[in-house]
Amino acid sequence: MMRSKPYSRSSVRRALLLNLSVILFLFSGCSLSTAPTYIKEGLDKAIQDICKKEYSMDVKVTLSGSTLWVYLPVEDMLAKSDKPEKYLEKFIIDDNKVDFKEGLLKLDYMIKSIPENEKTQEYKYNKAVLDKINNVWKALRRVLFSMERSKEGNEPKFLCLVTADIKNGFETKEISYYQDLKKVSYEFISWTEYQHRVIEQSEVSSTIMGDMEGKHMDYKDISMEEFIAFQIKHRIKLKFQKPEVGKDIDIDKEILKIAAYTIRTYDIKNFTGLELNNLVTNNRIVLNRAALWARPIE
């Protein structure tokens, strides 16, 4: 796989804000039926049928373990913005690796403060494509919020919406934790917090071109450990790429806050320790579970 173009990541973030506004609008004023309409074994067909019959869209839906994948093929996903967004670049991220294995969460990062540089976000989502993405979310909400419940937990744990520009060989992924989707719908968490929890990834590859069925995809079951690692990496990007902090901030302290907050949020039972490695300063921070829980998050 080739790496995505620089503008792509910012385009995804902007589109996510628009997507979320539609999701929240849908949730407001909608009540949930107590009678189950859909079963786990029929989720793929139900979502595909709604997208086809009501929105004239062909999507590929795959349930892999506890991860529900939706593949949406489109053309010309991005368009040049009439009013490009400007922002200040204050940091450069040369490395951002997060690994969570056998209870140990390890972060290796190389983040440098640089002279402020004005950047321009020139691309946005094509409105027709954005409408299709929003229609997929409508179908997902309709099915997932009306499916049967059981003590075994039939609900998917993770949702992954892949929007693939099969004309230009570019795709975006939005990975979310289903419980987070429910929490934002009932205002247990804020829209901004939900945005930080949804993982955004993008790729450019010739294998995407012409792929209506999503045959190039690896429909794997995402584990909670992988999701935590993805989310921390995502939060670090949000913190330093379009900076949420000043250039003189203590980078190690901010990274530690991100890791601690994420681990505590999901209360990971098999978490045993945290290791932070600043590859710029060679500073290393190691905390066990008890020390992390005892440490205040400012």
* Cβ proximity of 37 and 178 under 8 Å: no
Look at residue 29 in the predicted model and tell me its pLDDT: 38
Look at residue 56 in the predicted model and tell me its pLDDT: 97
Look at residue 298 in the predicted model and tell me its pLDDT: 65
10-residue mean pLDDT profile of the chain (298 residues): values are 39 43 41 61 92 97 96 95 88 96 96 92 92 94 82 82 98 96 90 93 96 96 96 95 88 96 91 97 96 82
Which residue(s) pair with 278 in the sheet? Answer: 109
Q: Which residue has the tokens 């930080």?
A: 196
Look at residue 152 in the predicted model and tell me its pLDDT: 60
Look at residue 150 in the predicted model and tell me its pLDDT: 64
Alpha helices in the chain (DSSP H): 6-27, 43-55, 127-144, 178-185, 191-197, 224-240, 251-266, 289-294
- Work out the number of other CB atoms within 10 angstroms of the CB of residue 269: 7
How many angstroms separate the Cα of 80 from the Cα of each of 76, 183, 238? 11, 34, 22
Look at residue 39 in the predicted model and tell me its pLDDT: 80
Look at residue 111 in the predicted model and tell me its pLDDT: 97
Look at residue 295 in the predicted model and tell me its pLDDT: 82
Look at residue 155 in the predicted model and tell me its pLDDT: 84
- Strand 284-288: give its sheet, edge to edge: 78-101, 104-125, 273-278, 284-288
Look at residue 93 in the predicted model and tell me its pLDDT: 96
